[in-house]
Amino acid sequence: MIDLIKTLTEAWGPSGYEHHIRQIIHQEVEPYADDITIDSLGNLICRVGQGGKKVMVAAHMDEIGVMATYREKKTGYMRFANIGGLMTTTLRGNRVKFEDGTVGVIGVHANGGDKLDDFYIDVDDGSGDVIVPEGSPAGFWREMQVRGKRVIGKAMDDRIGCVVAIETMKKLNKQAPNETYFVFTVQEEVGLRGARPAAQALNPDVGIALDVTRTGDEAKGAKMAVKLGGGAAIKVHDPGLVVPPQIVQWMVDRAQADGIPYQRELLTGGTTDAAAIQLAGAGVPSGCISIPCRFIHTVSETVDLDDVQACINLLTGLVSNPIEFM
């Protein structure tokens, strides 16, 4: 699993430009899916099983990034806009990688740093020949590292959710009593844009998002009843989703029956693809299995391997058993 996490987190794929990461995931899941399609927006949709309840499991492939908007003529520095939610406190000195492999370093004007206009990307190689065209997207760049049970890297949000989905598909090995659609969605970071049409097309009976969530165990951090190493986080509420009680209970019962460590997640900021899935058709009861993660939306997003495995085990238990509560 470590190799898969490394491959996915280090892959390039800002929102709207998921073609590279989609190809990697496609190759990884092909032996474990009964059917694979790519919709017109770019979502990768993998069906496992046929008959029974229709389940949509969504993990987004995209990552936050930047878009070059203007090249300063005298310096060659690039001005940029955000792709997804950037925090200015994390930008200075960070590296970004453009699709052609060009690596830039983010700088900031003296006494600046409060707003995005204070920053620029330095792509100078000393020759003056490096030209990054306006409109070029870039993702943040940093190699993944392992520290004991902790894995640190960029784009854990939400490549680690993709890992949970892929490993569950492997465990199912095409054997499932439900008709489960594993959807690797696009453009989540810019407004849940991929999950909406996918859910509308599939019209599932139940939806499950896989995504990261904050932890409440950072020094002087926000209070939250989720900690790294505490197990799978079963979402109860976030600003975009009030999880139906029967969905929460379904997940809790499964975790308890299978001896899977879990914790309840109540998130005060942010939401997931489940918020879009719930609005498909006449409405879809939807929940979320969250992977606890420190330092979200930085190049050092940190997860615990035991939590990841707990999420895999919980999702596998949910979709490998008949759904009878509906």
User: 114 and 15 in one domain?
Assistant: no
**Angle of helix 156-172 relative to helix 2-9, nearest 10 degrees?**
140
Any domain includes 114? yes
For 211-220, the pLDDT digits (tens) are: 999 999 988 8
User: 306 and 247 in one domain?
Assistant: yes
What amino acid occupies position 137?
P
Cβ atoms of 309 and 229 within 8 Å: the answer is no
Q: Which of 33, 277, 302 is nearest to 179 (CA)?
A: 33
User: 231 and 181 in one domain?
Assistant: yes
User: 288 and 162 in one domain?
Assistant: yes
- CB count in 10 Å sphere of residue 20: 14
Residue 247 token pair: 């969905």
User: On the CB side of 38, how many CA atoms lie within 13 Å of its CA?
Assistant: 10
- CATH number for the domain spanning 124: value is 2.40.30.40
**Where is the domain boundary, 140, 171, 192?**
140
User: 110 and 160 in one domain?
Assistant: no
CA separation for the pair 183, 93 (Å, rounded): 35
User: 303 and 228 in one domain?
Assistant: yes
Distances 49 to 99, 123, 178, 271 between C-alpha atoms, Å: 36, 48, 6, 29
Cβ atoms of 147 and 294 within 8 Å: the answer is no
Burial class (CB in 10 A: 0-12, 13-18, 19+), 103: middle
User: 232 and 188 in one domain?
Assistant: yes
Any domain includes 325? no
In percent, the amount of the chain with pLDDT more than 70 equals 100
Q: How confident is the model at residue 291, as a pLDDT?
A: 98
User: Between β-strands 137-140 and 145-147, what pairing exists: parallel, antiparallel or unpaired?
Assistant: unpaired
User: 43 and 88 in one domain?
Assistant: no
Task: Check 18, 188, 189, 301 and give the catalytic one.
Answer: 188
For 27-86, the pLDDT digits (tens) are: 999 999 999 999 999 999 999 999 889 999 999 999 999 999 999 887 779 999 999 999
User: 286 and 178 in one domain?
Assistant: yes
User: 240 and 95 in one domain?
Assistant: no
Give the number of residues written for the chain. Answer: 326
State whether residue 258 is helix, strand or coil. helix
Which residues of the chain are under the pLDDT cut of 50?
none
Any domain includes 324? no
State whether residue 70 is helix, strand or coil. strand
Instruction: Indicate the helix (H) or strand (E) that contains 62.
Output: none
User: 231 and 201 in one domain?
Assistant: yes
Task: Please give the residue range of the domain that contains residue 255.
Answer: 2-63+154-319
Phi first, then psi: give them for residue 170, nearest 5 degrees.
Answer: -65, -40
Cβ atoms of 241 and 276 within 8 Å: the answer is no
CA separation for the pair 41, 194 (Å, rounded): 7
Q: How confident is the model at residue 102, as a pLDDT?
A: 94
Has 218 been annotated as catalytic? Answer: no
Distances 27 to 4, 23, 36, 181 between C-alpha atoms, Å: 12, 6, 11, 17
**Where is the domain boundary, 140, 167, 201?**
140
Any domain includes 57? yes
Any domain includes 131? yes
**Where is the domain boundary, 116, 140, 164?**
140
* Number of separate domains in the chain: 2
- CATH number for the domain spanning 189: value is 3.40.630.10
Instruction: Indicate the helix (H) or strand (E) that contains 262.
Output: strand 262-266
Rounded-to-10 torsion of CA 111, 112, 113, 115: 150
- CB count in 10 Å sphere of residue 6: 17
Does the bond joining 158 to the residue before it have cis omega, within 30 degrees of 0?
A: yes
**pTM surpassing 0.85?**
yes
User: 120 and 37 in one domain?
Assistant: no
Any domain includes 55? yes
Q: Tokens 């693809």 — which residue?
A: 273
